Chain A
């Protein structure tokens, strides 16, 4: 128990370092372009942390997180524009609506496992995209989509600074919640389910319910990320939420780590920064993604971030 608490303490120190890191980058990055890349990384990291809970800890694959990301973006926009709710409260709406739908969908969909579950969630992402493009009375379809979201210029700071910090704060809170969940009873239940659903139910874990709650949490995290994404751009349309988004979120977890939430943050940063480095090769982007995914699966099945971290600590011990 002592070890569990000390690892929790270590994780909260890391959270503090994350805050310091964001602050330093906020000051150090002078180009608007890099600052927006950082903001997007923080936003996507929130969704990736949620997916790590579901995939890394409970062992349930989802290639459908883009649907909840989009649902969050639309819910928040609807709350602000049609209901006159302030943007900060809109974030709560963006967590609750996808979380609720996630829970409803989870009960039937999580009866599947492995490849079947992956395909069902992929279908979810595809269906969401079609609905988002066609239901133009609510979503605005592809043209014009949602426009005219308010600029967040609180405390005399510019919009991009406010969104960057809002995303940073949301990421820290979401990560802290995830860490607390993992450290407790719920996290142990998830890991038990990953090992064997039969044995988990024999020890008294309500498998169906626990999986559905994990799915709902991952959906809520994706929803918060989606809302922040909408706030940041102030205008978006359905094309942002195509199946590619779900695959990118999945890649963030795989590139990062399947066994710690820190990997998700690393993965989100890597996936956001990498395309910018490959600027000139836009046509080959998917090819590079595919190759990277295959290479990571073969050479670092626990995630690239985790494998790199292990290499570094091993070297330090060797020295």
Chain B
């Protein structure tokens, strides 16, 4: 495990409003770090700040020992830190393969073709639909495509914002299997933002509970799953089995 992403005293926000208040975190290769928290806690803001869409106000942030402060979003993406934004935003008017081609933007043609093979092997469905317009696929397929579009560039760290949003349970299970596969087989570090806190904590190596722009609680996924405060807030109250475990 090597240290990939690290930030200390991170502060960011919009206009006069400070959203992120002094956050510290490290994400290593081959581990899943989950961020859970209520709406408006600042989870997506944090991902947008890391990927350079929002500017860092103060604090230090580095990826693979390179300072990210003030770096352009497109350049950060090319370092191998990929962000899959909320709401499975595929390029609806482009074909599936062109979406993947854009994922490899900035890489050579041979690298794109080399990256395509494993992805098509993993998702044979995408092969069938390679010439179909991405916007005409089902929600689950679009989310898969959005993740694959980031995956094709062989990222070392992937930030997923609500990958299970609005999807059927079976599809959600498939997406979580994919996330585990990326960690176990590909050794990618994953920063996962999820509303589906229980599922996220189950697969997470470490997790943070975010509230009003701060990390309220940190621990391993299992610890937080058993924590009564977490259970109360996100997992549907103090159900007996959880209460007994504590």
Residues of A within 8 A of B (CB): 1, 3, 185, 188-189, 191-192, 194-196, 198-207
CA distance A199 to B86 in the complex (A): 10
Contact B82 A202 (CB under 8 A): yes
Instruction: Check A189 against B105 for contact (C-beta < 8 Å).
Output: yes
State how many angstroms separate the Cβ of B46 from the closest Cβ of chain A: 15
Q: B90-98, B119-127, B173-181: which one contacts chain A?
A: B90-98
A188-B105, A199-B85 in contact; A206/B94 too (CB < 8 A)?
Answer: no
Does B131 sit at the interface, judged by CB under 8 A?
Answer: yes
Contacts of B66 in A (CB 8 A): none
Judge if B118 is at the interface, Cβ distance under 8 Å: no
User: What are the residues of chain B within 8 A of A200 when measuring CB–CB?
Assistant: 102
Interface size on B, residues (CB 8 A): 29
List the 5 closest A-B pairs by CB distance, nearest first: A201-B73, A204-B77, A206-B74, A204-B106, A199-B89
Q: Which of A194, A195, A205 contacts B74 (CB 8 A)?
A: A205
Say yes or no: A196-B89 contact (C-beta < 8 A), given A3-B131, A206-B74.
yes
Residues of A close to B190: CB separation below 8 A: none
Inter-chain CA distance A242–B150, complex, in Å, is 47
| B53 contacts A201, C-beta separation under 8 Å | yes
Q: Does B153 contact A (CB under 8 A)?
A: yes
Q: Which residues of B contact A (CB under 8 A)?
A: 51-53, 72-75, 77-78, 82-85, 89, 91-94, 97-98, 101-103, 105-106, 131, 149-150, 153
- Which of A3, A200, A203 counts the most chain B CB atoms within 10 A? A203
In Å, the complex CA distance between A200 and B72 comes to 12
A192 touches B102 (CB 8 A): yes
A-B contact pairs, 10 of them (CB 8 A): A191-B93, A192-B102, A196-B91, A199-B91, A201-B77, A202-B83, A203-B77, A203-B103, A203-B153, A205-B105
- Which B residues touch A207, using CB under 8 A? 73-74
A185–B101 alpha-carbon span in the complex (Å): 8
Would you call A204 and B105 a contact (CB within 8 A)? yes
